[in-house]
Structure 1
Amino acid sequence: MTDREYVVGESIAVPWGLDTVEGTVVGAYGEGSGRRVLVEVNVGDGATETLPFPLRALEVTRSAEEHGPPGTWVTSARFEESVRDALADSLRKIAPEWNGETHSQLLIDPDARVDLAFFLPDRFLFAEVKHYTVDRSRKSVENTTAIEQLREYMVRLRDRGYGNSVGLLIMDRTPGGRLVKRAYEMRAKGFPVWVVEWEPDNAKAEVELRQVLAEATSYELTGA
């Protein structure tokens, strides 16, 4: 564990779903492993919120940011916005009973948020958005860390009474065979998660996203 001190007024990157956003340190509390840094972040539409972050989470995020160009989170935020709009547009067609309410960065645990959330009449749909800002080669993604995170989020949601949850991992790269297989294995074990590539203004990507969304919204839930 680092003993780095965070100064009030300092701009830092903080974990936000599977990506990061910029925030401003406004305070801290606690000692040792229980120490938390209070960071004010923009949660959209000009609104801000002050959130506590453990030191370890901030250090992991800082390390990741050092390997990418400054400000890459802005591009990630725009990509997430395009995903949100695409999901909402598809849901209006697939699930006309949906009331149109969309949640961004929804808190599901004291230290965990999901990027996007939609409360449908019979299930809770959440999505994690992954934007690869460093590797621009358009190579497929085989690493399963992100899909494992979805499973962990689903466990937390079930602990809070959301046994009717289904999850999507949406990325700007092609999911590799290993990643697709892992998502299939999870569904077979009762964890309904899917992974799909998304690219704005791409008709083929739009069709694929809608197909996955249709499968997720019609998936037969048990024990909800």
Structure 2
Amino acid sequence: MTDRDYEVGESITVPWGLDTVEGTVVGSYGEGISRRVLVEVNVGDGATETLPFSPRALEVARKEEAQSPPGEWVTAARFEESVGEALSEALLEFSPRWDGTIHSQPRLASDVRIDLAAHIGDRLVIAEAKHYGPGRPVENMMAVEQLRHHLTRLQAQGQAKVVALLIMDRQPGMQMMKRAHSMRMEGFPIWVVEWEPNNPRADDELRVVLSQAAVYEFADN
């Protein structure tokens, strides 16, 4: 159904960050694999932005929304809370002088809201907590690409030293790990790590990733 027609004015679900949001179709352009559907999305504070989506991305978002069981957001919220606690412990271990403040759902810009954020040293650490549950390794790149989008916007607004973590409860696929590595080489410091509560080995992996993010060398501005 990825070649279905989208009518102007139709309300549809679109991928946004690590979740999905409602948007309104305002147009389309292109054909075949180059086809894009233009969707107007509310980005907060009454502002809207028109973004292009491939029909495939819209179909994936629709399926994810339809397959989410009732109450799934509760499980995701608890996972995010657990990630915040683990991140706090890791930061304190890495830097005893850290002020101990984890910000939940901060708005970093007019259209950038993050699950978790904290300052350590000369940089801002932002983190997205993604709850998937059991399953095959994740190869969907939308979460990583959205973090890159966030970093781009923050850098454009003068926040040059920002590092990003994608923390999820399922193993990241090889292509996702390669994409995150290539982004770091391009100047977008993003790390992907699998983590779950009550797993000391996962805590160790989180500390390793955090230590890498804390010493990442930014290009001179």
Q: Same fold (TM over 0.5)?
A: yes
Question: Is 1:172 matched with 2:169?
Answer: yes
Closer, same or farther: CA 80–36 of 1 in aligned 2, 3 Å: closer
Paired letter, 1:108? L
- Cα-to-partner distance string for 1:152-180 (whole Å, 9 max, x where unaligned): 11011111211001010111110111111
What is the percent sequence identity of the aligned residues?
48
Query: With structure 2 as the length reference, what TM-score do the two structures score?
Result: 0.74
Query: With structure 1 as the length reference, what TM-score do the two structures score?
Result: 0.73
Closer, same or farther: CA 52–177 of 1 in aligned 2, 3 Å: same
Residue aligning to 1:88 = 88
Residue aligning to 2:100 = 100
Conserved in 1, the CA contact under 8 Å of 2:17 and 2:142? no
Show the 5 A alignment for 1:1-224.
1-3=8-10, 18-19=18-19, 52=46, 64-132=64-132, 136-137=134-135, 139-223=136-220
Closer, same or farther: CA 155–187 of 1 in aligned 2, 3 Å: same
Closer, same or farther: CA 53–67 of 1 in aligned 2, 3 Å: farther
Residue aligning to 1:42 = none
Give the Cα–Cα distance (whole angstroms) in 2 for the partners of residues 116 and 145 of structure 1: 18
Alpha-carbon RMSD: 3.0
Closer, same or farther: CA 55–76 of 1 in aligned 2, 3 Å: farther
Conserved in 2, the CA contact under 8 Å of 1:17 and 1:113? no
Task: Report how far residue 142 of structure 1 moved.
Answer: 1.6
Conserved in 2, the CA contact under 8 Å of 1:171 and 1:197? yes
- Where do 5+ consecutive residues of structure 2 fail to align? 1-7, 27-38, 52-57
Give the Cα–Cα distance (whole angstroms) in 2 for the partners of residues 183 and 35 of structure 1: 26
Give the Cα–Cα distance (whole angstroms) in 2 for the partners of residues 128 and 108 of structure 1: 13
Higher deviation after alignment, 73-82 or 101-110: 101-110
- Cα-to-partner distance string for 1:92-127 (whole Å, 9 max, x where unaligned): 010222111111111123232111110123101101
Higher deviation after alignment, 85-94 or 112-121: 112-121
Give the Cα–Cα distance (whole angstroms) in 2 for the partners of residues 216 and 91 of structure 1: 11
Task: Report how far residue 192 of structure 1 moved.
Answer: 0.9
SS of 1:149 mapped into structure 2? helix
Conserved in 1, the CA contact under 8 Å of 2:171 and 2:194? yes
